[in-house]
Amino acid sequence: MAATRLPEILDWEKRMSYWQSERIRLRAIEPEDAPIFFEWNRDEEMGLMVDRIRLPVSRKVVTDWIEKTTARFADESDNYYFVIEILAGEIVGSIDPHKCDRRMGDFTYGIAIRRPFQRQGYAREAIIMVLRYYFRELRYQKVTVKVYGYNEPSQRLHESMGFMLEGRVRRAALYDGRYYDDLIYGLTREEFEERYGVPGE
C-alpha cells in the first residue's frame, strides 16, 4: 500500500525549520556557553543598552545563572530563553519571549546582539523566527515590546518591521545620567502575516 503524501505545509523536508534560517539558528542555552556570557556581562555599553551596568560577577555566578535559566524554562511554559548563533556555531546574541499570557494571547520579548555582530540583520531574523512560531504554532495574537527611548537602533528596527508605537512611559529609563521615556511598540498576528506571509501562501 502506497504511503499517503503529506500536505506540503506538513512535509518537513520541504519547509524551513522554525529554529534555523539561512544564516542563524535559535537554540537552548548550554553550560558550555558560560565563557561567552561572562565576557558579555563585562561589556558596559551593552549593559546600558539592554538594562544597566551591572556589578562584576564571577564565572560561577554566570554558570549558576545558566543552570537556573535552563531549569526555569524546562516546564511547559511558553516563556523561553534562546541563544542566537550563526550556523558556524558562534553566539551572536539572545532573545527571550516572556510574560506569555495564553488567555489574552499576548507576550513580549527582550533581544540583545553582541556588539561585533550588530547592524548585520541578525536581530531582525531572530525576531521573525520567534514571532512566526508564537503566532502560528502557539496561536498568540499580539506581541508588545518595550524599547528604551535612548535606544534609537532598536526603535528603527521595530518600526521597519511594522511595529506600531502605541504609547510611552515618561522618564522611565536612565542612561548616562539622563532620563528617557520607555516606548511601547505592538504588532498583531494579522499585521505580521500581512508583511511576512501565512502558511501555504
Q: Per-residue pLDDT tens for 63-122?
A: 999 999 888 887 768 999 999 999 999 999 999 999 999 999 999 999 999 999 999 999
Distance CA(137)–CA(161), nearest Å, equals 20
Distance CA(185)–CA(75), nearest Å, equals 28
Does the pLDDT of residue 2 top 70, yes or no? no
User: For domain 23-196, is the CATH number 3.40.630.30?
Assistant: yes
Distance CA(21)–CA(140), nearest Å, equals 22
| Residue closest to 134 by CA, chosen among 180, 95, 162 | 95
Q: Is 149 left (phi over 0), alpha (psi -120 to 50) or beta?
A: alpha
Per-residue pLDDT, 32: 96
Residue pair 151/117 in contact by the 8 Å Cβ criterion: no
Residue positions counted in the chain: 201
Residue spans per domain, the chain? 23-196
Whose cell is 508583511? That residue is 195
| 5 or 66, greater pLDDT | 66
Task: Report helix angle 152-160 to 122-136, nearest 10.
Answer: 50
Which cell numbers hold the place of 56?
562584576
The gap between the terminal CA atoms of the chain, to the nearest Å, is 31
| 1 or 29, greater pLDDT | 29
Per-residue pLDDT, 1: 40
For the stretch 138-169, pLDDT in tens is 999 999 999 999 999 999 999 999 999 999 99
Whose cell is 511576512? That residue is 196
Per-residue pLDDT, 14: 47
